[in-house]
Amino acid sequence: MTNSSDGPSQAAHRDCFFTTDTVLGRPPCLCLSQSTALFLDFDGTLVEIADHPHDVVVSEFLPPLLVQLSRKLDGRLAIVTGRSIAALEALLGPISLAIAGSHGGEFRPAADAEIEPLAAPLPGAVVDELNRFARASGGLLVEPKPFSAAIHYRHHPEVLPNLRACTESLAAEFGLAIKHGKKVIEVTMPGSDKGSAVERFMALPAFDGAIPIFIGDDVTDEDAFAAVRRYDGEGVLVGAPRPTAATSRLDGVAEVHRWLEAGLEAVHKGDFRP
């Protein structure tokens, strides 16, 4: 399941772990030890996917749960998301966590660190063309980000062939990568993907020697599943079985919450639900 945006090296690294065996068991209990690093996707993993990205519902217990987990891991917890860091914090609040946003295009290595841009800004002409296509195709949702732009076709699946042609043309003209997700196509500046973000975190002194776990639900998380396996880590697929580089699976967002809470309760009896 290699996207057209993958370069030869990236695709080869991912494909060496990729399996069509969809029978995956549950991950082991989360161990909050000095040897664990935890990476979490956001949409479809920590919150349910909504028709509009702004309409997701964040449970009140989630931000404090994440902060407590990060403290128990001495900061070796990071959210790795396709959303911009600003958009994520608009939903979670100004949360004290390490974050890679925009598929790794922006990088905050620790809770109180400055945000580092790892890609050049997306040309405005790309967003203009996506908006033109969206208007001509029944009013698709275009989601501009600092280093990428997503166009959602959930309510207009019939436009997919033309949308593929549009984004492939933009990618060729501006040297962009293309990422396919759940009823969304995203064009991104080169050098931003979730696998690279995980590897950048793992190169930091705080993460050195840890065994990484990455939890995610979408095709855009496959690069990260492959990345953690290069460190003998665990990729956890969220949702229905499918071909994947993950090594275990949880059924959905609620199951992810329970798994995280159980790991915290093993070392600290606390209930963050309101």
* Positions of E strands within 197-233: 211-216
Q: How far apart are the first and last CA of the chain?
A: 40
CB-neighbour burial class of residue 164 (10 A; exposed 0-12, middle 13-18, buried 19+): middle
Q: Return the structure tokens found at 90.
A: 């608009």
CB 160 within 8 A of CB 119: no
Q: Residue 231's closest CA among 207, 215, 255, 256?
A: 207
The helix/strand/coil state of 164 is helix
Annotated active-site residue in 6, 21, 41, 112: 41
Query: Do the bridges between strand 148-152 and strand 141-144 make them parallel or antiparallel, or are there none, so unpaired?
Result: antiparallel
74, 54 contact by CB (below 8 A): no
Structure tokens, 165: 């042609």
Told to judge if 251 belongs to the known catalytic residues of this protein, a careful annotator would answer no
φ/ψ of residue 221, rounded to 5: -90, -10
Query: CA–CA separation, 63 vs 240, rounded Å?
Result: 26
Question: What's the DSSP call for residue 122?
Answer: P
Residue 3: HSE in the Cβ half-sphere, 13 Å Cα cutoff: 24
Residue numbers annotated as active site: 41
